[in-house]
Every structure is written in structure tokens, then in C-alpha cells.
């Protein structure tokens, strides 16, 4: 007689979980928020699970097990021999995606089984997250079992009610995974159906929604969801058949493995759970379940936007436009003008290029394509190049081709027409992503199976198809507004989707079918929906699909929405779905730095929306730039507003329409550098002014720190790098002046923030961009690159709460930044941007704690910085004699040493003491005393004055 799980736990008290943790049936696992409960049964010939949420059943008791060449592995053949529990509470930082950091928080139980009559082992691993449940089988390495085949799984998802679901049923295992997610009642799902992941269902309890999916698939076949064979409510797993015999799936097992060589892990069988469909859309659970990154150095991975040829039919305004050098120079010029990062060279550029796998040479361009000239021109314009490849043609020359593309300077590859998810094809995905990473190539997968967490495992995986996207507008009427607002709640919850938005020519649905065309195609949705897709849809690499002419007005100015596309980010620090429902409408809010972007889309019904801005920071005014449906389908109505937390924005969406809103902080009420609670005694002192403690510059003109109409604006982009000091991926803001070009070289200014601040302080609180834009436009400052890093070199580099501000660990992070700055960040900036070399082309300055850093780091490293500024420098500033022990060297190497402070600043004595030392030592410097305290007015005016002195 075998031991049940309950009896086993009672008999072995040394196990990791106590008897008190169990309830009927045999074991219970709960999420950390206690809302999700998983009940496991492993007794009396049964191996099953059930899931409830808030005490409402979601999945009724459902079978578990594998059907193998060794026989069934289930409750009838296995006995429990051990178990462990653990809790994980950690976060990880994706290189790209919908959030800057992602929680990986779960409770886990692992049950160990052995065969009752056979010498075979199996483990069952179950995790409960606040966002859902994940279950996987593990066949450990075991010498007693060499070859094993998996015919199928006994895994079921039994529904306790006739749920209303949405799913895509391709009807056959080999397919491109592109289609509509249609509404379907659970009772209408048949055993012959093959639903792709995800299958999304509403439970009928409030707005609770769940989705079935899989994650972390490797050395295994993909899964479909079919109706239960006996006709009950729910679905069961069906594996993609062995590719050699797709018509006879029982002939060869879909999965083959050698357990003597190593363990076999099935994918996670996932039940995602949320209070609403929108909460599913914001979830990162599938990526979180992916294996951790296998790429150590990710600094070369750059998400972005790409001009694209194929959708618009190579329609550039040139004679003989097509697959040739002149055409791609034109796409490059367009990309550079709009601020896009890449061009994609699609099908047809190499010898034998075709959609199917006939003989070809992917290393030999056709004669019309001078790849060296195309890539060289793009490099001068600051634009990267991607190339398209048919997967079989690439696979035959994989190693040779990837090495060649790296030598050319190609940034990424689009691999197409896989059309399968069998075990061998799954292996190809891992092979091509791993080898591409070894050659510093990013990857876009097309005709691809649904995402399953590759975004985390291979950060060079930028996006993928497996979605019925904009290409279907070229030959069908299937891409409707309803389809577009169904995708965020279905296909997109799994991972990025290369929908290829950007169609700027719109027709009403009733006119569309009669005017379909392959070149310069139309879409059935408005310009408002076209731009909203760039916020609503997830894709770290996103296409700008129309031809260059479509983004210009007849007079050559940018068409409505084009400049928004040029500036909108493709990766995000935070994502929220504010409102919406499947197939009806969606309102998404995404944050990048301190700026929020809202995207709204609706189905064929016009609707008015009122969006509560509860997600904004308190105490901050935001400027709102609003683009929504305009006078017709191809125009937008633009407006502006000032808003704050709790304000509401009203949007009017046409049928098939949309809108975007950009919310930019204007002026925080709270100063991040106001005197912090609990400083050491004596830090703040009443200023005692001497005769030479005076303002030495004129008061800047009114509006010097405001965006001025008619002034060309620079842009700020996010730069990421891997820090050896913290062991994490860190970020900096980089200001690029108006007219920035990679064909020109620039000096660089590094601006450091204060003790309570962040990399956004100079940009949003001081408003450095507006100050520099005006100075450069007026010829008062040299065009320069400005790097605004996070000067807190800690693994958790966020500003701490007040009680931790003065802890030794926090203070030490600012000192540790010196090594990271000099050894990592400065070289990385010089590699990525066209900088002028040498210390005379490099400046450093900072405010408060950053002012102390700038003086400490700059003056100790005059071989790196010849221009140094400290504004309202904090007590971290080194002693004067230690800062400049060699007056002769300082006089010869320093081009500028600039000190400033406000006459009402409690830290005045720090800068004053250094000024007096410099004066007594005969070291030239600027000492500017303004009438302010420790605040923005002082730092803005001194940046205005300091910048005019640099690099002259």
C-alpha cells in the first residue's frame, strides 16, 4: 500500500512545511496576498489540483499527469516520496519591456514522486503568485531511464461554470499564429479545436478574468487548448505533433528526451488571474516565469523604432524605387529626420531570398544592394540597420551569416516563416537567439508561436509577430477596430507583438474593401488610433510602417501625429491599464522617467472618455499635450492643459479612433533637496557674508528656463549601461542638442543630482533642457551633449525614505559612483555618442550632494575633466587642501572652476570656505553668490551662467 501525501507529511516531521500548513484535500498553497488558493490532491489514485480566488472557484478539480513511452505518470502510477516549500520575494530589472523593475514574488511547493511499480521519478512544481498560478512537471536526470517520449499531458483545466471566453482557434498545429480572438462560450469549445495561448475567460464574479498560457518552453513541444474529450466544461492540453509526421501525431511522440543526459522540464502551465482584463494586460507574469537572462553584457541592446519598406511596397519618391541602394538611403534619410533608430531591410535583399526554404545564399546581397554603402550612410546618420531572413535559409548558414552581419555592423535580424511550434522549432528559437546574442545581434521573430517568456531569458529578443497585424490590411478587411482593441487583452498579455503600426491613410470600413491595395495600403481606423498604438501596444522594437511621404504634408511639414511617433518611447518604467474591456476600448498609461504617456483606442463605436489622473505624483504640476481624433480620419485635434494628481482629462474618440496624451512635469512644489530630516549637527549654518560674497553675473532674462516658442528643441533619451560597481543595469538621461547629428562631434557635460534626488532632477525640476535649448539657439552656449546619471551607485538606486537619507550605506553610494563614472559611464557614452575626446571637451557639475561629487571627482581627475562646477555643494565635499593639493597643476590643467551658492542657503559655508582657500592659493575660479536658498532658482541661474563659459 502506497503512502498518500497527507500520510507522508504526518510521518516525516522534518519536512520544510508543517502539518498545520495543510488543509483538505492533501496540500494547500496560497499566494502572498492570500487571495489565490491552490488545492492539491495526490492520493487514492488521483493527482489533481483546483484553484480559487477570493473563495470563488476558478478551476475545479483537474487532472495532472504525463502520457509517456514509459506509461502514464499520474495518480495511479506514482507515490509521494518527498516535498519542499519555499517563498521567493525578489525583483529583477528587464532590459526592455513594460516596467523598469518586476516583482518575482511567489510561494512554491515541490512534490517528489516515484513510480509504484517502475523505477522512475517525477517532480511536480507549483507556484502561487499574486497574479496567478504556474505548474510544471520535472523529470529529473535518472540513470534508470535513458530515452523517454511524451505522447501528451493529462493536464486539464476544468471550468466550474460556462465561462465567456475569447480565443484564437487556428484549427491546425502548423500555422503562423495570426488570427482573431473571437468570443466563445466554454460550452462551445470542442475536442477538435486547437486554441492558441492565451485563452482568456471571464468568471462572472465581478470583473475577475483569467488566462491560460505557457511559459519557459525549452526542449519541449508547444501546447494548444482543446475541449475535454468527454464533453465537460473546460479544456485540456494538446501538444504540437512531431513535425516529421504532423498528420499522425500518435506515431512519433511530440517530445523526445534522454533523462540519462539531463532533466526534462515541461513549460509552466499558467493560469493568469486579475480583477479585470486590464490588469491582465499590465501583467509581466509570463516574462517573469521565463528563465533568467543568459546574456551577461546587455549594453549593446538598444530598443527603438524602425522605418520599414515591405508594408508600404518600397514606396519612396524615387525613380526605380525598390530593393536597391538608393531606396534604402532614402529610408535612412527619413528615419534620421523623424528621429527613428533603425531601418529594416525586408525580403529580397540576398540571393535566393524567398518565403520558403529553397536554396539561397544569405551572405551574398543581390547586385542592386551595396550593403557597405547602405550601412555606412546609415551610420553617418545615426541610424542602425536590420535585415530580414527566411528561417531555413538562415539556418543552413547560421554561424557564417551571423559573424558576417556583425562585421558589417548590422544591429538586428528579423527571422520569418517558422509557422510551427513543435519541439524542433522550439529548439531553433533558443539556438538562433543564443547565437545572435554572441554576435551582438537583436532579433525579431515572425510567423512565430505565442510568446512564452523569451524576453527575460534572451534580452536581445526585441519583439515578435504571432499576431494578426497591419499586414492583413493589404489583402483583407479583417483588421478591424474591434480586433485592435481585443489584442491588448488577449495576445499582448503574453509578451511583445510586432503589429507594425503606423498606417497613415485611413478609409471608413464601408469603403475599405473596394480600395484595398498592396502599395501604400489603407487602414480602417483613424489617425488617432494610429498614434495611440505606439502607447497601447507592447513592442521594444516597433515599426513605422507607412512610406516616408505619408508622414509629410504637401508643404513638407510633418503630418499630424508624425512627430509624436518620432519621440514616443518603446520601453517603459511603469504600465497601467486605466480603463477598458475586451473588444470595446482601452486606456493605457505608461511612465518613462517622470513623463506619462496615455494611449486610448476604441472599437467601431465613438465614445467620450473621462480619465482620472490618480497615478500622477502628488505636489507636481504637469503640462498635458493632447492629440485626439480631428476634423476627419486623417487629422488630429491638438490641445494643451495644465493638470495635477486627481485631475481628469476628457477625450472624444471617433468610431475606430483614438488619442494620446503626454504628461510632462512642469514644476514640483516639493524641492527634492530641501533640508532633510535628521542631518548631522552643524551641517546647516546661518550664512555669514563677506565683502566678496556677491553675484558676479547679471540676472538671466525672464523665461530663461521655460520652453520658448520658435526655439529648436533638443531631445532627451534614456541610456542604459551595466554597472560593475552595483552589479545591476543602470540608467542615465542624455540631452542631445537641437540639430544633433552623428556626423558631428560634441563636448560633454555631466550633471549630477543631490542627496534626495534622481537622474530626472536636472531635466524636470531645474528644467535644464529649456535652459540649454535657448542658450544654444541664441549662440550663447556651444552645442553639447549633457549626461544626467543616477549618482547613487547602489543596487537599489532609488531615493530612500527620509529615515534612510543619512545612513552610511546611502552616503557611500555617492562616493562609489566615482569609479562607475570614470571606468564605465564615461567610456560607454564616448562609445555610443559622437563625443570630442580629451579632458578639455568634458565638464562635470552638480547640485548639493552632486556638487560635492563634481568637485571631488572632477578635481581628482583633471586628466578626465577640465571644466568643473559645484552648485550649493554639500558636506560630502572634500577638504579644500585635499581637493587641490597642487596649485601649479590646477592652474595649468583647469579651464574653469566654478563655485556658487545662495546667500540664504544653510550649506553656504562649504562653498565659501573652498572659495577662500582658492583665493589664498592664487587659483583662478568663479565665485557666484545669488540671493536664493537651497533651491531651483539658484541651480537654474547658475546652470545658465556656467553653460555659457564651457568649451570656449
Q: Distance between CA atoms of 151 and 585, rounded to whole angstroms?
A: 41
Residue 493 CA: distances (Å) to CA of 131, 142, 198, 827: 12, 37, 8, 38
Q: Regarding predicted confidence, which is higher, 255 or 760?
A: 255
Buried b / exposed e across 740-779, counting CB within 10 Å, b at 16+?
beeeeebbbbbbbbbbbbbbbbbbbbbbbbbbbbbbbbee
467 Cβ contact partners less than 8 Å away, ≥ 6 residues apart: 177, 178, 487, 491, 492, 497, 498, 499
Distances (CA, A) of 313 to 285, 474, 669: 38, 10, 51
**Cα(417)–Cα(811) distance, rounded to whole angstroms?**
54
Ranges 164-168, 613-617, 937-941: which has the least confidence: 613-617
948: number of Cβ within 10 Å = 14
CA distance 106 to 217: 20
Q: Which pLDDT does position 245 carry in this prediction?
A: 54
pLDDT of residue 857: 97
- Length of the chain (residues): 952
> Beta-carbon neighbour count of residue 343 at 10 Å?
30
Quick one: pLDDT at residue 806?
85
As a whole number of angstroms, the distance between CA 438 and CA 764 comes to 38
The dihedral built from the CA positions of residue 840, 842, 848 and 852, taken in this order, carries a sign that is negative
Q: Quick one: pLDDT at residue 679?
A: 58
User: Are the C-beta atoms of residues 846 and 854 closer than 8 Å to each other?
Assistant: yes
The phi, psi pair for 253, rounded to 5°, reads: -65, 140
pLDDT at 4: 39
Distance of CA 719 to the CA centre of its chain: 13
Q: How far apart are CA 159 and CA 895, in angstroms?
A: 74
Neighbours of 248 (CB within 10 A): 10
**How many other C-beta atoms lie within 10 A of the C-beta of residue 859?**
21
- Please state, rounded to an integer, the average pLDDT across all residues of the chain: 93
Q: Dihedral of CA 801/806/808/813: which sign?
A: positive
Residue 949 has pLDDT above 70, yes or no: yes
* 763 close to 668: Cβ distance less than 8 angstroms: no
Q: Evaluate if residue 12 carries a pLDDT over 50.
A: no
Assess whether pLDDT exceeds 50 at residue 278. yes
CA 865 to chain centre: 34
Do 155 and 63 contact (CB within 8 A), yes or no? Answer: yes
The pLDDT tens digits of the residues spanning 490-504 come to 999 999 999 999 999
**Cβ atoms of residues 462 and 541 within 8 Å:** yes
Q: Strand runs (DSSP E) across 475-572, as ranges?
A: 541-544
Question: Angle at which helices 423-438 and 398-408 pack, to 10 degrees?
Answer: 30
The phi and psi torsions of 472 (rounded to 5 degrees) equal -70, -15
Task: Return the ∠ at Cα 445 (arms to 344 and 383), rounded to 5°.
Answer: 25
Beta-carbon count within 10 A of 609 CB: 20
Helix (H) or strand (E) holding 25: none
pLDDT tens-place string over residues 656-708: 999 999 999 886 555 776 655 455 666 788 999 999 999 999 999 998 998 88
The model's confidence at residue 20, banded by pLDDT at 50, 70 and 90, is very low
* CA distance readout (Å), 826 to 660, 822, 829: 36, 6, 5
Distance CA(466)–CA(616), nearest Å, equals: 34
Angle made by CA atoms 711, 673, 669, in degrees to the nearest 5: 60
**What's the CA gap between 944 and 952, in Å, rounded?**
15
Specify the range with the lowest mean pLDDT, choosing from 314-328, 442-456, 607-621.
607-621
Phi-psi region at 54: left, alpha or beta (left = phi > 0; alpha = psi -120 to 50): left
261 contacts: CB under 8 Å, gap ≥ 6: 141
Of the chain, the percentage scoring pLDDT greater than 70 comes to 95
Residue pair 183/584 in contact (Cβ under 8 Å)? The answer is no
Q: How far is CA 492 from CA 98, 171, 282, 358, 569, in A?
A: 11, 21, 9, 33, 18
How far apart (Å, rounded) are the C-alpha atoms in residues 511 and 698?
A: 64
DSSP 256-291: EEETTTS-EEPPEEEEEEESSHHHHHH--HHHHHSP
- The pTM (predicted TM-score) of the whole model is 0.83
pLDDT tens readout for residues 415-436:
999 999 999 999 999 999 999 9
Q: How far is CA 316 from CA 57, 764, 790, in A?
A: 57, 39, 42
What are the tens digits of pLDDT across the range 334-391? 999 999 999 999 999 999 999 988 999 999 999 999 999 999 999 999 999 999 999 9
Rounded CA separation 82/902 (Å): 69
Q: How many helices (H) and strands (E) does the chain have?
A: 21, 46
Of the candidates 268, 172, 258, 148, the residue with the CA atom closest to the CA atom of residue 218: 268
* Other CB atoms within 10 A of residue 300 CB: 14
Contact at 8 Å (CB) between 38 and 29? Answer: yes
Instruction: Yes or no: say if 329 and 557 are a contact pair by the CB < 8 Å rule.
Output: no
- Asked if 737 and 746 touch (Cβ cutoff 8 Å), the reply is yes
Q: What is the pLDDT of residues 918-941, one digit of tens each?
A: 999 999 999 999 999 999 999 999
Taking the C-alpha atoms of residue 595 and residue 763, their distance in angstroms, rounded to an integer, is 11
User: Could you tell me the CA-to-CA distances from 762 to 309, 495, 736, 750, 813 in Å, in that order?
Assistant: 39, 34, 14, 11, 19
What is the model's pLDDT at position 632?
A: 97
**pLDDT-derived band at 11, boundaries 50, 70, 90:** very low
Q: Give the DSSP letter string of 338-404.
A: HT--EEEE-TTSEET--SS--S-EEEEE-TT--HHHHHHHHHHTT-EEEEEEEHHHHHHTHHHHHHH
pLDDT digits (tens, 9 = 90+) for 702-741: 989 988 878 888 988 889 999 999 998 899 999 999 989 8
pLDDT-derived band at 43 (thresholds 50, 70, 90) equals: confident
Count other Cβ atoms within 10 Å, centred on residue 783.
18
The set of residues, in sequence order, having a beta carbon less than 8 Å from that of 211 and lying 6+ positions away, is 198, 199, 200, 201, 270, 271, 272, 280, 490, 493
pLDDT of amino acid 668: 57
- Answer whether the bond into residue 198 is a cis peptide, omega within 30°: yes
What is the structure's pLDDT at 24?
Answer: 53
pLDDT digit string, tens, across residues 290-328? 999 999 999 999 999 999 999 999 999 999 999 999 999
> How far apart, in Å, are the Cα atoms of 271 and each of 125, 177, 240?
14, 20, 20
Q: How confident is the model at residue 22 (pLDDT cuts 50, 70, 90)?
A: very low
Distance between CA 187 and CA 202 in Å, rounded? 14
Q: Assign 3-class secondary structure to 887-926.
A: HHHHHHHCCEEEEEEECCCCCHHHHHHHHHHHHHHCCCCE
Nearest to 761 by CA among 673, 663, 829, 677: 673
| Contact between residue 342 and residue 331 where contact means Cβ atoms under 8 Å apart | no
133 contacts: CB under 8 Å, gap ≥ 6:
36, 38, 51, 126, 127, 270, 271, 273
- Identify any residues that bridge with 50 across adjacent strands, giving them in sequence order: 39
Q: Is 189 helix (H, G, I), strand (E, B) or coil?
A: coil
Residues 6+ apart with CB under 8 A from 458: 293, 294, 295, 430, 433, 434, 437, 443
CA-to-CA distance for 193 and 227, rounded, in angstroms? Answer: 7
Say which residues have a Cβ less than 8 Å from residue 257's Cβ, sequence separation at least 6. 139, 147, 148, 149, 150, 219, 264
Amino acid at each position: 500500500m502506497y503512502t498518500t501525501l497527507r500520510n507522508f507529511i504526518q510521518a516525516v516531521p522534518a519536512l520544510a512545511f508543517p502539518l498545520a500548513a495543510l488543509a483538505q484535500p492533501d496540500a494547500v498553497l496560497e499566494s502572498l496576498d492570500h487571495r489565490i488558493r491552490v488545492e492539491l490532491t495526490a492520493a487514492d489514485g488521483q493527482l489533481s489540483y483546483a484553484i480559487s480566488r477570493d473563495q470563488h472557484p476558478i478551476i475545479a478539480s483537474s487532472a495532472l499527469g504525463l502520457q509517456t513511452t514509459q506509461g502514464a505518470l499520474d495518480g495511479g502510477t506514482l507515490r509521494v516520496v518527498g516535498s519542499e516549500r519555499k517563498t521567493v520575494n525578489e525583483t529583477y530589472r528587464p532590459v526592455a519591456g513594460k516596467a523598469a523593475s518586476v516583482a518575482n514574488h511567489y510561494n512554491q511547493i515541490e512534490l517528489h514522486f516515484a513510480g509504484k511499480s517502475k523505477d522512475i521519478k517525477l517532480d511536480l512544481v507549483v507556484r502561487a503568485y499574486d497574479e496567478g498560478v504556474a505548474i510544471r512537471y520535472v523529470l529529473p536526470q535518472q540513470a534508470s531511464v535513458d530515452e523517454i517520449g511524451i505522447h501528451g499531458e493529462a493536464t486539464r483545466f476544468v471550468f466550474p461554470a460556462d465561462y465567456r471566453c475569447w480565443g484564437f482557434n487556428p484549427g491546425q498545429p502548423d500555422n503562423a499564429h495570426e488570427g482573431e480572438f473571437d468570443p466563445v462560450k466554454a460550452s462551445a469549445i470542442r475536442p477538435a479545436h486547437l486554441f492558441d495561448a492565451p485563452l482568456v475567460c471571464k468568471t462572472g464574479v465581478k470583473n475577475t478574468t483569467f488566462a491560460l498560457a505557457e511559459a519557459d518552453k525549452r526542449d519541449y513541444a508547444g501546447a494548444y487548448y482543446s475541449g475535454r474529450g468527454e464533453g465537460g466544461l473546460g479544456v485540456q492540453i494538446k501538444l504540437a505533433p512531431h513535425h516529421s509526421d504532423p498528420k499522425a501525431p500518435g506515431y512519433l511522440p511530440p517530445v523526445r528526451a534522454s533523462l540519462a543526459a539531463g532533466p526534462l522540464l515541461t513549460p509552466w502551465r499558467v493560469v493568469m488571474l486579475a480583477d479585470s482584463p486590464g490588469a491582465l494586460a499590465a501583467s509581466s507574469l509570463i516574462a517573469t516565469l521565463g528563465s533568467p537572462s543568459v546574456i551577461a553584457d546587455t549594453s549593446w541592446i538598444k530598443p527603438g523604432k524602425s522605418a520599414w519598406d515591405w508594408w508600404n511596397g518600397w514606396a519612396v519618391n524615387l525613380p526605380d524605387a525598390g530593393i536597391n541602394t538608393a531606396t534604402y538611403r532614402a529610408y535612412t534619410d527619413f528615419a534620421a529626420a523623424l528621429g527613428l533608430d533603425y531601418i529594416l531591410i525586408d525580403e529580397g535583399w540576398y540571393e535566393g531570398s524567398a518565403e520558403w526554404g529553397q536554396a539561397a545564399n544569405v551572405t551574398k546581397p543581390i547586385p542592386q544592394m551595396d550593403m557597405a554603402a547602405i550601412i555606412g550612410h546609415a551610420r553617418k546618420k545615426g541610424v542602425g540597420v536590420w535585415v530580414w531572413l527566411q528561417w531555413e535559409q538562415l539556418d543552413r548558414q547560421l554561424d557564417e551569416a551571423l559573424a558576417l552581419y556583425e562585421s558589417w555592423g548590422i544591429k538586428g535580424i528579423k527571422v520569418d516563416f517558422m509557422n510551427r511550434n513543435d519541439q524542433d522549432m522550439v529548439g531553433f528559437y533558443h539556438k538562433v537567439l543564443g547565437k545572435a546574442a554572441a554576435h551582438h545581434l537583436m532579433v525579431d521573430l515572425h510567423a512565430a508561436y505565442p510568446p512564452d517568456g523569451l524576453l527575460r531569458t534572451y534580452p536581445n529578443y526585441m519583439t515578435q509577430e504571432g499576431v494578426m497585424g497591419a499586414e492583413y490590411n493589404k489583402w483583407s478587411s479583417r483588421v478591424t477596430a474591434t480586433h485592435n482593441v481585443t489584442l491588448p487583452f488577449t495576445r499582448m498579455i503574453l509578451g511583445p507583438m510586432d503589429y507594425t503600426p503606423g498606417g497613415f491613410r485611413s478609409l471608413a470600413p464601408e469603403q475599405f474593401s473596394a480600395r484595398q491595395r498592396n502599395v501604400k495600403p489603407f487602414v480602417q481606423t483613424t489617425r488617432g488610433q494610429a498614434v495611440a498604438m505606439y502607447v497601447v501596444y507592447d513592442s521594444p522594437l516597433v515599426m513605422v510602417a507607412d512610406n516616408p511621404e505619408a508622414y509629410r504634408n504637401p508643404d513638407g511639414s510633418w503630418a499630424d501625429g508624425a512627430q509624436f511617433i518620432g519621440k514616443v518611447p518603446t520601453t517603459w518604467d511603469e504600465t497601467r491599464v486605466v480603463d477598458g474591456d475586451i473588444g470595446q476600448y482601452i486606456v493605457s498609461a505608461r511612465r518613462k522617467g517622470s513623463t506619462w504617456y496615455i494611449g486610448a483606442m476604441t472599437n467601431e463605436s465613438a465614445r467620450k472618455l473621462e480619465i482620472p489622473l490618480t497615478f500622477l505624483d502628488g505636489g507636481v504640476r504637469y503640462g498635458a499635450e493632447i492629440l485626439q481624433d480631428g476634423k476627419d480620419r486623417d487629422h488630429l485635434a491638438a490641445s494643451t492643459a495644465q493638470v495635477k494628481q486627481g485631475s481628469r482629462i476628457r477625450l472624444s474618440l471617433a468610431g475606430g479612433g483614438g488619442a494620446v496624451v503626454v504628461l510632462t512635469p512642469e514644476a514640483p512644489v516639493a524641492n527634492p533637496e530641501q533640508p532633510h530630516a535628521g542631518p548631522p549637527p552643524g551641517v546647516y549654518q546661518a550664512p555669514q557674508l563677506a565683502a566678496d560674497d556677491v553675484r558676479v553675473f547679471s540676472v538671466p532674462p525672464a523665461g530663461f528656463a521655460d520652453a520658448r516658442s520658435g526655439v529648436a528643441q533638443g531631445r532627451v533619451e534614456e541610456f542604459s549601461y551595466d554597472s560593475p560597481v552595483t552589479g545591476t543595469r543602470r540608467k542615465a538621461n542624455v540631452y542631445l542638442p537641437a540639430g544633433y547629428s552623428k556626423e558631428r562631434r560634441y563636448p560633454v557635460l555631466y550633471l549630477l543630482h543631490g542627496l534626495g534626488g534622481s537622474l530626472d532632477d536636472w531635466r524636470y525640476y531645474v528644467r535644464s533642457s529649456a535652459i540649454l535649448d535657448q542658450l544654444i539657439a541664441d549662440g550663447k552656449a556651444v552645442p553639447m551633449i549633457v549626461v544626467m546619471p543616477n549618482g547613487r551607485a547602489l543596487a537599489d538606486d532609488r531615493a530612500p525614505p527620509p529615515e534612510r537619507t543619512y545612513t552610511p550605506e546611502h552616503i557611500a553610494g555617492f562616493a562609489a559612483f566615482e569609479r562607475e563614472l570614470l571606468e564605465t559611464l564615461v567610456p560607454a557614452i564616448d562609445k555610443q555618442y559622437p563625443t570630442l575626446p580629451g579632458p578639455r571637451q568634458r565638464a562635470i557639475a552638480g547640485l548639493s550632494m552632486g556638487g560635492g561629487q563634481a568637485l571631488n571627482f572632477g578635481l581628482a581627475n583633471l586628466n578626465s575633466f577640465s571644466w568643473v562646477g559645484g552648485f550649493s555643494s554639500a558636506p560630502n565635499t572634500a577638504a579644500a587642501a585635499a581637493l587641490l593639493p597642487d596649485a601649479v597643476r590646477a592652474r595649468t590643467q583647469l579651464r574653469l572652476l566654478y563655485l556658487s551658492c545662495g546667500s540664504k542657503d544653510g550649506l553656504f559655508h562649504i562653498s565659501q570656505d573652498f572659495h577662500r582657500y582658492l583665493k589664498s592659493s592664487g587659483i583662478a575660479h568663479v565665485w557666484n553668490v545669488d540671493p536664493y536658498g537651497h533651491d531651483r532658482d539658484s541651480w537654474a541661474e547658475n546652470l545658465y551662467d556656467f553653460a555659457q563659459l564651457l568649451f570656449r
